[in-house]
């Protein structure tokens, strides 16, 4: 393989990892925040609420990141220049 091909592969792998972390980090943080609050207040549902809020936030962030990538990042929504 030539150097340019390897670089493109690594660029794509890095982008996939970034999307995964964009989803994972809010889910984990808000789940554990909910778990902490469950222990603090004696409830049993805040960790589940935190998980779903984190999932929605992570999915929203990943969607915006992917739309920016597919649209060229300049807000043209795929229109020809």
pTM: 0.80
pLDDT digits (tens, 9 = 90+) for 20-61: 999 999 999 999 999 999 999 999 999 999 999 999 999 999
Residue 77: the pLDDT is 59
Q: Which two tokens stand for residue 3?
A: 């150097």
Whether 80 shows a pLDDT value over 90: the answer reads no
Distance CA 25, CA 20 (A): 9
Mean pLDDT of 63-78: 78
- Spatial distance between the Cα atoms of 39 and 66, rounded to a whole number of angstroms: 37
Q: Nearest Cα to 22, choosing from 73, 50, 51, 59? A: 59
CB 15 within 8 A of CB 66: no
């Amino acid at each position: 393989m030539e150097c340019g091909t390897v670089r493109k592969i690594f660029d794509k792998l890095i982008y996939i990892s970034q999307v995964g972390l964009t989803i994972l980090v809010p889910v984990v943080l808000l789940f554990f925040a909910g778990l902490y609050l469950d222990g603090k207040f004696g409830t049993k549902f805040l960790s589940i609420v935190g998980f779903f809020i984190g999932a929605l936030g992570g999915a929203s962030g990943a969607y915006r990141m992917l739309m920016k990538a597919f649209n060229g990042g300049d807000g043209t929504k795929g229109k020809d220049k």
